Structure 1
């Protein structure tokens, strides 16, 4: 279930209240007349089945809630009541399959806002990846993958492409480019310092690296993993299964490739510069492509599932 908190203008209060009360997918409807001060109007709240939330929000917008009103969405950890179970049964599909497009879009815009935290985590991840390359350590490679924060931005880019949101696409591309450029530059400087004091040299990269050599050698498996990771990551975000993202982070070599590229630049190993750059590009492009296709498929499936529901009365539902 999702909890909706509304500030409803006086001009549409009756229509909104009637809709919420009569929709069988909605329960726990509370109305506080005149309680909202900014914006002015009634304060309303309700719980809605997750798989019906996008449709309910679209209907609220159609009633005019965007014109002077507001809505806030919260996840409900548990709702052990018969009313909540009835609302779930009235909604089509499974809660795990429900995509709340308003929630996904709002979260995507949050992810593409530049922050020092994002740059710090991406830089730290790239530095760890650089050490992993020198030590030929797969454990440190995994650590770098987990620390890297870039997938949320990649998912936002895929969403922007699907929804044709130019501002979201541009914000995602800008943050990805600026983030990786900054992380690679800082790591390269650290590599130069390490070379100056004798910790590393060109042979640190050119010697056999059986455990981490794949980082700068993209092949058909790199494309395959990037596509699979893009699908898995997008599904985990849209379904609210963020715990699955850890597996996605571990499966793609974006940050390790960036670390390898930074060291190759610092120690001037042209062959690995090209390979690591290609690996980074393959992973980013593959995840964006797979994420966009996944989002398109989800939109088509939910439209065909009949998410647009006409409510004829409490307990009586007809699909369009």
Structure 2
């Protein structure tokens, strides 16, 4: 429920009252207390779903609601026609759970904390994520997502894009870029302290840690996380769902990847650093694209948008910032998406080669545990593609040719000559007891 208090001139009051009467909304009109001439205060309660309808009618009638309008949350409203209004907008034919554009703008801006809090929490979340990745502790990685305040910057930029607000676009993207930079620097600093202080065993290989391995090989599933995070954030903020819930999802797509970039730098592992960086860029772009698409689907448009008039809406003067963001995101998706597509194709070939090889009779005692294809953009990197296959087999048996057979199949199916590493996990099984 929302309580609206707006200041209108005496000349506009008749049109405002007429609109409220037509919409069957109860209202109160009082003189403006400072005794300025020809000004009246109009106050009325409405469900949040009806707010945009009323504001649109005010705008169509030539009444400017932005001269002075305050919208506050009301716990409850009792009036003669309130039951009919709620029946119409909350559960009736005009039911719509999304909030008004003005309230959406305000909601997005309130999600941006002050600079000190934002960068401090971002740095702390990156430190926790770094510890969780190195310790292979999923609980710590999840904990880092909870304290990360990245939801505000991501959604501010997306709301600014869909509403063509240059200030919101700049604030959102600037805060997000700086925040992710702080996260990477925090991960580098913390990782350097851990490594130089010998707090971790010298034998630690970050690439073999499961939590890190999941963040250095961008693929279709990684893209899905970013798309879902952006869509969930857009739905959440536009329907009044707690920002903390959608914030965790957005942080899940960004913070662990940023921490993995720092780990790759500290351990001088280009494969980790580059793969995690590509994942970070993919998730940033997919979050913004999906959230803008959801906002647009929900009916949010720039203030000067003209329905069904492409020529009027193609104005660089009015919508230049939004078009610029769209161009940057398009280039990012094309360039990074091409790298991810190449990797996904090779990953599919690797999975198929491993499956076909292990299906042979001489390898029937081997059980596949995992296939990991290190992210590699192709011949331009100058480095061979690496594939690590983990299999489980019985104690005492050796399979010396399995890596060569997998490699031969990959060479036949792709244009690369990869390095194939097969890691064996031995196991024993006691026979069942017979009674």
**Aligned-partner Cα distance in 1 for 2:9–2:22:** 19
Deviation at 1:150, TM superposition (A): 1.1
**Aligned-partner Cα distance in 1 for 2:224–2:105:** 27
Q: SS at 2:70's partner residue?
A: strand
**Aligned-partner Cα distance in 1 for 2:292–2:298:** 10
Q: 1:183 to 1:4 in 2, by over 3 A?
A: same
Does the 8 Å CA contact 2:58/2:65 hold for their aligned counterparts? no
Note if 1:215 corresponds to 2:215.
yes
**Aligned-partner Cα distance in 1 for 2:222–2:120:** 26
**Aligned-partner Cα distance in 1 for 2:3–2:12:** 20
**Aligned-partner Cα distance in 2 for 1:222–1:264:** 18
**Aligned-partner Cα distance in 2 for 1:195–1:39:** 72
Which one of the candidate residues 68, 71, 83 is aligned to 1:70?
Answer: 68
Q: 1:81 to 1:41 in 2, by over 3 A?
A: closer
More helix by share: 1
Between stretches 206-215 and 130-139, larger displacement belongs to 206-215
Deviation at 1:237, TM superposition (A): 0.9
Q: Which residue of 1 aligns with 2:257?
A: 257
Deviation at 1:169, TM superposition (A): 1.8
**Aligned-partner Cα distance in 2 for 1:85–1:244:** 32
Highest relative contact order (Cα 8 Å, sep 6+), 1 or 2? Answer: 1
Q: 1:249 to 1:68 in 2, by over 3 A?
A: closer
Root mean square deviation, CA, Å: 2.9
Larger radius of gyration: 2
Q: Which residue of 1 aligns with 2:351?
A: none
Does the 8 Å CA contact 1:184/1:258 hold for their aligned counterparts? yes
Deviation at 1:45, TM superposition (A): 1.6
Q: 1:14 to 1:210 in 2, by over 3 A?
A: same
TM-score normalised to structure 1 length: 0.81
Does the 8 Å CA contact 2:207/2:272 hold for their aligned counterparts? no
- Residues 106-151 of structure 1 show CA distances to partners (whole Å, capped at 9, x for unaligned) of 2224445762221122111111101111111100111111211112
Deviation at 1:48, TM superposition (A): 1.4
Q: 1:278 to 1:146 in 2, by over 3 A?
A: same
TM-score normalised to structure 2 length: 0.61
Which one of the candidate residues 40, 53, 59 is aligned to 1:42?
Answer: 40
Does the 8 Å CA contact 1:218/1:278 hold for their aligned counterparts? yes
Gaps of 5+ in 1: 302-320
Q: SS at 2:214's partner residue?
A: helix
Instruction: Give 1:115-154 correspondences, 5 Å limit.
Output: 115-154=115-154
Q: SS at 1:268's partner residue?
A: coil
Does the 8 Å CA contact 1:226/1:286 hold for their aligned counterparts? yes
Gaps of 5+ in 2: 302-435
Q: 1:201 to 1:65 in 2, by over 3 A?
A: farther
Deviation at 1:70, TM superposition (A): 0.8
Q: How many residues align?
A: 298
Instruction: Give 1:211-290 correspondences, 5 Å limit.
Output: 211-242=211-242, 245-246=245-246, 249=249, 252-290=252-290
Does the 8 Å CA contact 1:257/1:276 hold for their aligned counterparts? yes
Deviation at 1:239, TM superposition (A): 0.7
Does the 8 Å CA contact 1:233/1:244 hold for their aligned counterparts? no
Q: SS at 1:293's partner residue?
A: helix
Q: SS at 1:45's partner residue?
A: strand
Q: Which residue of 1 aligns with 2:56?
A: 58
Does the 8 Å CA contact 1:34/1:42 hold for their aligned counterparts? yes
Note if 1:102 corresponds to 2:66.
no
Does the 8 Å CA contact 1:133/1:205 hold for their aligned counterparts? no
Q: Which residue of 2 aligns with 1:93?
A: 94
Q: 1:207 to 1:15 in 2, by over 3 A?
A: closer
Q: Which residue of 2 aligns with 1:317?
A: none
Deviation at 1:263, TM superposition (A): 2.4
- Residues 221-253 of structure 1 show CA distances to partners (whole Å, capped at 9, x for unaligned) of 011122122212211110111267348527833
**Aligned-partner Cα distance in 2 for 1:239–1:267:** 44
Note if 1:293 corresponds to 2:322.
no
Q: SS at 1:77's partner residue?
A: coil
Deviation at 1:289, TM superposition (A): 1.0
Deviation at 1:89, TM superposition (A): 2.5
**Aligned-partner Cα distance in 1 for 2:140–2:5:** 44
Q: Which residue of 2 aligns with 1:309?
A: none
Between stretches 205-214 and 228-237, larger displacement belongs to 205-214
Q: Which residue of 2 aligns with 1:195?
A: 195
Q: Which residue of 2 aligns with 1:310?
A: none
